[in-house]
Amino acid sequence: MSAKRAFVIEEIANPSSDFFVIPALEIQNYSIQRIGFNEPIAEEQLTDAIIVFVRYIPAYWLRRIEKARHKINTLVFFMDDDVLDPEAALSMPWRYQLKLRRLASSRKKWLRKQQAQLWVSTPYLMQKYASWRPKLVLPSLLSQPSPLCKLFYHGSASHSDDIRWLKPVVEQVLQANTNLCFEIIGGPPVYHLYKTLPRTTIVHPMKWQQYQTFTCLQRYDIGLNPLVANRFNQARSYTKFFDITRFNAVGIYASNSACAEVIEHNKEGLIVAMNPTAWTDAILRLASDFELRQYLLANAQLKLQQLAEQATHNNSQLLPTLR
């Protein structure tokens, strides 16, 4: 007896599938394959399969289903919003209304013609579409993902050279270690440069006070401080060491940076020459060694206090003592 197969057709991975459709199929022991809108699939694979459309039906799949409907075991349309009624979305932005009309409400007659089952998420939708004899799907708990090691680089637009230099390094480490995620701050140029990288968050630039509040609410593991050799970068101080350590993270610092002058390699952080391979190796080393990160962080926090005391002594002598 062949395994029960289900194909979930979705625009992209989404909460509708993860909360409702995937758990409902898993509990019935289906072998599930998630398919994007335009992903090809051999027609013979549809034989005796369950096909579930999540919220939308692209034109490509209209033709596929019509051609193979006689082979398909069950056709299902799932919705967790009232996407089949254009009037229900009149308060929504016009672009979203157009999307719903194009990919959902315009398919209502087609679904009935194809004898599709209707799965819905709420009693309200059950009652509204009662003539269709819909089935209620209840949301399930999502499995708790294992915590990722969070890598970050926070630099303003004045760090554009460093941001561009860093991109292939980040791309390589994210590919090599799927337990890594990455956060960077930047406007549209940074977004377009990094948007294709997996597990990457691009945070919109913010004012300094907002930044301090934002970072207090985050959890970081590894901070990056690359420094491309240019005239502007020559004048930078070692405040990146302060930031990274304040976030309870461990830093990787360019060997030509001011940070490298105040910390010791392999004691309060890693000091690495501006070589992409060396940075890739350093990141992967730290990401895979929790005990090393804890050791470096403890030493970095002690160093931070020493530097603060040094600053107090130095800055207390900037102006003559008032009498």
Residue 1 has pLDDT above 60, yes or no: no
Give 78's pLDDT tier (boundaries 50, 70, 90): very high
pLDDT of residue 228: 85
Give 318's pLDDT tier (boundaries 50, 70, 90): confident
User: Counting beta carbons within 10 angstroms of the beta carbon of residue 117, is it exposed (0 to 12), middle (13 to 18) or buried (19 or more)?
Assistant: middle
Give me the residues paired with residue 188 across strands: none
pLDDT of residue 96: 95
Residues of the chain with CATH 3.40.50.2000: 149-314
Q: What is the pLDDT of residues 115-126, one digit of tens each?
A: 999 999 999 999
**117-120, strands of its sheet edge to edge:** 31-35, 5-9, 50-54, 74-79, 117-120, 135-136
Average pLDDT, the chain: 92
Which one is the CATH code of 149-314: 3.40.50.80, 3.50.50.60, 3.40.50.2000, 2.60.40.1120?
A: 3.40.50.2000
Give 2's pLDDT tier (boundaries 50, 70, 90): low
Residue 292 has pLDDT above 90, yes or no: yes
What is the C-alpha to C-alpha distance for residues 201 and 217, in angstroms, rounded to an integer?
15
Q: How many CA atoms lie within 13 A of 59 on its CB side?
A: 3
Helix pair angle (160-176, 276-287), 10° resolution: 50
Token pair 């459309």 in the structure block, residue: 53
Q: What is the pLDDT of residues 99-114, one digit of tens each?
A: 999 999 999 999 999 9
Residue 262 has pLDDT above 80, yes or no: yes
What is the C-alpha to C-alpha distance for residues 198 and 157, in angstroms, rounded to an integer?
23
DSSP string, 128-184: HTGGG--EE----PPPPPPPPEEEEE---GGGHHHHHHHHHHHHHHHHH-TTEEEEE
Fold that domain 5-136 belongs to in CATH: Rossmann fold (3.40.50)
3-state secondary structure of 21: helix
